[in-house]
Chains A and B, each alone.
Chain A
Amino acid sequence: MKNILEIRKVNKFYGDQIKNQVLFDINLLIEEGSFNAIIGASGSGKSTLLNIIGSLDVPTSGEILIGGRIESHMTSDRLAEIRNEVLGFIFQFHYLLPEFTALENVLIPYQIKHGKITKEAKQRALELLKEVGLEKVENNLASNLSGGEQQRVAIARALINNPKIILADEPTGNLDSKTTNIIYDILRNINKKYNTTFLIITHDENIAKKADRIIEIKDGKIFNDTKKD
């Protein structure tokens, strides 16, 4: 299988005076189309790693390669394009634009890429909303949706540009177990249907168990890396 993502000797320090090392020499190869769970104790460095992969944060040393290209060699505009077209983010705190409706939020990455919204794009956004079970609230302002609904809008938004990789930081962190299972099924479905690569940080053992690969981080190092066949 082809590797879509490569993490080479990534170190991360925080702080100016007192240096606090959060990641230690992380090396990872992620296969295209794989469904990966990242687990580990709170404060172990999971979010830091994911943000660095997503080019939102920069490593102190080491390199991230997306599709064979080194992130640190790219301009900020090129990185913005990668975030927009190649990556899809789902954050723990969903982060929708409260001034826009559910449907408009889903379409924002599309509009960043294409400028204007075509009929087909709108149709696709509606389908995605339907897939996450939100066809009834598509015209509600994001600020008027429940936490679980907002999270599902964020998932639909991450999918709108057909990204190659989805980076999800505890996407079901504050949802009940029934909704968690529904969302997991949605993600897994997309993974199968479009061969999208998933990197999901989770505390949920059930989800972790269903992944193709479990990467466990402990104190900023890869402690365990288990692949299923």
Chain B
Amino acid sequence: MLRVSGIEVRYSGVPVIHDVSLEVNKGELVSVVGSNGSGKSTLLKTIAGALRPTKGSIVFEDQEISHLSTADIVRMGITYVPEARLIFGPLTVEENLELGAYILNDAEEMRKNLENVYHLFPRLAERRLQQGGTLSGGEQQMLAIGRGLMSNPKLLMLDEPSLGLMPKLVDEMLEAVARLKEAGKTILLVEQKVRESLELSDRGYVLQTGRTIHHGTGRELLNTEAIKKAFLGL
């Protein structure tokens, strides 16, 4: 479904991603793990069209998308839930969610997606009319994910959904991700919670200073000595 091949990405001329390739197949949950600054967010932003690769290609459903604008990539069916969440603070929860369905023209379809999101995160339904900016950190994360789901994307990219959450909420969030996968969503997940996310995932990639240094099934990676040492403290 998505194939990233040998991309390089620079910030003002300085390469941050040197050589990254990865693949996501339909229905898969794929994780990208790596330490701070390894380029995980940069990778997702590049796929989302917010940054342009200087080398390599990004192909989604047999179409090169690396030159497309973010708005067009959303229309192709890829949404990105940013690490910083970027909730529209003064707007209500429901208005935020409706903006997530901006590309849909069918009101019926939007209502259906809204119901699904409220079903996944009942807490959002309780706070429908509350301003997004006044939600707690965990609720804002739910809102960000919910908003990313509102256009019913083919591929959902989540950037550290557990960031800054207390342990109980981290579990809850990862559970929600697992449920989305079970419901058939294709997900590309970036996480610092290496063990938890690899356990959930079909496959995973390990990023280090802008390079994919390992990849394999979640199980395989969890049993790789280097990964145990570097990330799992074993």
Specify whether A and B are partners: no
**Contact surface of B with A, Cβ cutoff 8 Å:** none
**Contact surface of A with B, Cβ cutoff 8 Å:** none
